[in-house]
Structure 1
């Protein structure tokens, strides 16, 4: 058994559907399921917190019956609180809010749990880990952004790895049951660093969809390299 932190938690491969053909999202969800992913992430962008617009709850709901995999909603929106229920109603079992957008983060996380979903917090690259230190007891997951949010295909920021390590140490030392996810620029070339630092949920988008050998190969390779980072 590796002595690296967080190795008691399974590696989970969670692709973003952002690079998929938006006219065939249901087919993309089925293809990802067949490729062996563990869950699917929906990047919800409002055109305000980030420049782009993406998926509403009706779009996500329309794909819900195409797989039994967990859907996670990554809410890159300025004011998530009034519409939290819509993402849960759309079939998202995990809802991720950005710490930068929540005036009362503790209350928001509690509301997500009251709605029956898992609760998670995302941190932008410039946001220090201390922002989540005192809400970890409410978190099913912390998402450490390894790019600035809003666009796919960005370059991985390796200086986020110490942030991952810090949060993982807090989780272990305080006995919390909490995953750490990394999102942004994750590929076979970059996955070892954040997993070695303590991440166990890996988001990949552009790299996975562009793999010339197909989605199944992309998933298998990413999982193999992530597991090897723990050895």
Structure 2
């Protein structure tokens, strides 16, 4: 994975009665190559979203990279199902008690890339045992469960710290942010070191989605 900035529209913010149309809107937007799919179990987070069948139905015919985020108490029980359904990257959380290192190996063994994620209130050091085993580090910038929440400013220093670790140790993983990402907060995350931006409400409601993507995917450090 390169570090070229990527916007990954979150299908959670799409029209749930017409998810295929929302996926098409993302796919038809210049500059969009990824789509982010949140999977919630009603236990680890207080909401329910999609199952493997929904992912499989969306996968049919789509050429987007499926970035699947498992917000589950026991994600290791569902890896096979979601990769079979079409997940190409699977991100799991560091907080629940389950065999995380083995789960990351399981994802890789099935040909997908893997990521590790923490919530805003989780110490960033909880990521350290997994940094040599992942392709992506996801920092939630809201408490997960529902879309449309406000961005958490206190995550910015965590992005900077993770970016420092990446540079210090020569890691090649991407740094993804998810939650309250709009043009203003996304650019701040980019300046802090993030290169992958999950945008839901801000993307789907923007009057010019291509311009939204172009702005966030511009070269880091450029004059704005």
TM-score band by shorter chain is over 0.9
- TM-superposed deviation, 1:230: 5.4
Q: Is the counterpart of residue 14 in structure 1 residue 18 in structure 2?
A: no
Unaligned 5+ segments in structure 1 are 1-7
Larger mean CA deviation between 21-30 and 84-93 belongs to 21-30
Report whether the alignment pairs 1:45 with 2:40: yes
Q: Report the secondary structure of 1:172's partner residue.
A: helix
1:158 Cα deviation (Å)? 1.4
Q: What aligned pairs does 1:87-126 form with structure 2 within 5 A after superposition?
A: 87-126=82-121
Which residues in structure 2 correspond to 1:216-231 (within 5 Å)? 216-224=210-218, 227=219, 229=221
Given the two structures, how large is their TM-score scaled by the length of structure 2? 0.93
Give the secondary structure class of the aligned counterpart of 1:22. coil
Alignment of 1:157-172 (within 5 A): 157-172=152-167
- 1:140 to partner: Cα distance: 0.2
In the alignment, the residues of structure 2 paired with residue 65 and residue 163 of structure 1 have an alpha-carbon distance, to the nearest angstrom, of 37
SS for the counterpart of 2:172 is coil
For residues 17-166 of structure 1, what are the structure 2 equivalents within 5 Å?
17-36=11-30, 37-166=32-161
Aligned-residue offset at 1:102: 4.3
In the alignment, structure 2 segments of 5+ residues that lack a partner are none
Conserved 8 A contact 2:117-2:127: no
CA distance in 1, matches of 2:194, 2:214: 18
Number of residue pairs aligned between Structure 1 and Structure 2: 221
1:179 is matched with 174
8 Å Cα contact 2:20-2:58 kept in structure 1: yes
CA offset at residue 218 of structure 1? 2.8
Tell me the TM-score normalized by structure 1.
0.90
